[in-house]
Amino acid sequence: MAITGIVMMAYADNFHTDSIIGVAFAVGSASTSALYKVLFKMFLGSANFGEAAHFVSILGFFNLIFISFTPIILYFTKVEHWSSFAALPWGYLCGMAGLWLAFNILVNVGVVLTYPILISIGTVLSVPGNAAVDLLKQEVIFNVVRLAATIIICIGFLLMLLPEEWDEITLRFINSLKEKKSEDHVEDITDSSVHLRTRSRANGTVSIPLA
């Protein structure tokens, strides 16, 4: 549902070459992030504070060694061109890096110190928060498609807040409702049959059951 919301966001901005590439990168980023979180939960499970800090440190060191060479390789292979370092928006880049660092620390360490549902709710609130910033700062017009995409993304995040056995709990709840309805139906039939026998006896008629 989140990936559907991303595509709908791009559709609201009108598809063109750059937006399609951006959507592809966004979908790939969301997919790899989901895979990373599943593998983290599978191998580490409920990590304590020390294990979470150790893992984040190793992850940062890994990114520093292997990922930092990516823009340099793209530059020397003439895939990207840097005009001048002074023309780069260093304020935005450093601000984004600082916020991204704070986000990763809060997500990985906050799960250990607080409750996972609290971190998940904070992640859900980031979606309408970004929409509000776009509306106020960037003056983005929210049409029906963009609003529906935001709602779909929020619903996708809320579905992840369901407990692990939510399907079994839902089935048990539905079965209990069906059993209660069938019991009420049997009681209604019993009451109606008793009422009919009472009326037949009052009228002097006797019903003989057939074998």
Residues 123, 23 share a domain: yes
Among 32, 33, 45, 154, smallest CA distance to 103 is for: 33
The pLDDT of residue 95? 93
Q: For the whole model, what pTM was predicted?
A: 0.51
Residues 80 and 150 in one domain: yes
If asked whether residues 159 and 178 sit together in one domain, one would say no
Looking at the fold, whether 26 and 117 belong to one and the same domain comes out as yes
What pLDDT, in 10s, does the model give residues 3-51?
A: 788 777 777 766 655 667 777 787 788 788 778 877 877 777 666 777 7
Residue-level pLDDT at 207: 45
Number of domains in the chain: 2
Same domain, 174 and 160: no
100 plus 193 within the same structural domain: no
Helix 49-62 with 90-113: angle, nearest 10 deg: 150
Are residue 51 and residue 142 in the same domain, yes or no?
A: yes
Q: Inform me whether the pLDDT recorded for 70 exceeds 80.
A: yes
| Boundaries of domain holding 117 | 2-166
Same domain, 76 and 175: no
Residues 28, 97, single domain; the answer is yes
Tell whether 155 and 185 lie within a shared domain. Answer: no
Co-location of 157 and 130 in the same domain: yes
**pLDDT tens by residue, 105-144:** 777 777 667 776 777 777 777 777 877 787 787 766 767 8
